[in-house]
Amino acid sequence: MEKNTFERIVDEVVASSPPFAAARVYKELKIKYGKPSGQWKLWCKRPKSEKERTEVIIGAVLTQRTNWKNVQLAINNLKKAKINSLRGIYRTGKRSLAPLIKPAGFYKTKSRYLFSLIKFIFKKYGSLAKMKRQDVEELREKLLKIKGIGPETADSILLYALDKPVFVIDEYTRRLIKKRKLSQNLSYDFLQKLFEKNLKPRSRIWTNCHLRSKSKFHYGVKRDFRLYQDFHALIVIDGKNGN
């Protein structure tokens, strides 16, 4: 079967990989697990609707210090109450929001974090479509100023909800790095740059695929959010399988 453009891009990244060979790890995980499933079926869906992007944002906040099963219970409560939209959450307010997200744990704190984030998005942009058009560096800086939104949460929102090419670093990513003895520096910024620097396609296939892309250059080449989404998701899946 003929490979699609995205698969050919990945092959090119693998072929041009430096010693760290991040793309080779991706190919290994892709062969082992196939397309990301479970939570990641939605998070790696392309394209997403406004409601689906909102659900990713909600999940990115609620998943802090809990497991995905509990997050899903909280999201289902929001859906049943029909307040799983930007406008719905904003109009509901943090006090009424809290009991609905109780299954996710730390619900009073998370209700404040989630409401502050949704309020920022709703008042600043009005829609995720408009938010998505903003420059990624400026947007990341603004997200990090919101209480309760750290680098991992901000980058999860940027990558999975807004299709911005930023690689997410979490505990599973660090475990992979330690297991393969790829780096002793496990700081967030260092590892993010390490992954992004080493996922570097060089062929005309990549260039032609992104002629119309607004993604910024990083280390001399353009970054692909699709590769970042699938790769990070597979790292988490692998980590949760005890590897």
223: confidence class by pLDDT, cuts 50, 70, 90: confident
CA 129/CA 237 separation, integer angstroms: 29
Any idea what DSSP says for residue 119? H
Radius of gyration of the chain from its Cα atoms, rounded to whole angstroms: 18
182: confidence class by pLDDT, cuts 50, 70, 90: confident
Residue range 148-155: mean pLDDT, rounded:
98
All structural domains of the chain: 5-38+167-240 (no CATH), 47-161 (1.10.340.30)
CB 67 within 8 A of CB 73: no
CB 139 within 8 A of CB 203: no
Q: What is the mean pLDDT of the chain?
A: 87
Identify the pLDDT of residue 5.
63
Residue range 48-53: mean pLDDT, rounded:
97
* pLDDT over threshold 90, residue 176: yes
Q: Which has the minimum average pLDDT: 19-28, 68-77, 179-188, 214-223?
A: 214-223
Global pTM reads 0.86
Residue range 173-179: mean pLDDT, rounded:
95
Identify the pLDDT of residue 22.
84
Q: Which has the minimum average pLDDT: 10-19, 57-66, 120-129, 220-229?
A: 10-19
Residue range 29-42: mean pLDDT, rounded:
96
Residue range 105-118: mean pLDDT, rounded:
98
Of 33, 13, 22, the closest CA to residue 233 belongs to: 33
* pLDDT over threshold 50, residue 238: yes
What's the token pair of residue 216?
Answer: 């910024």
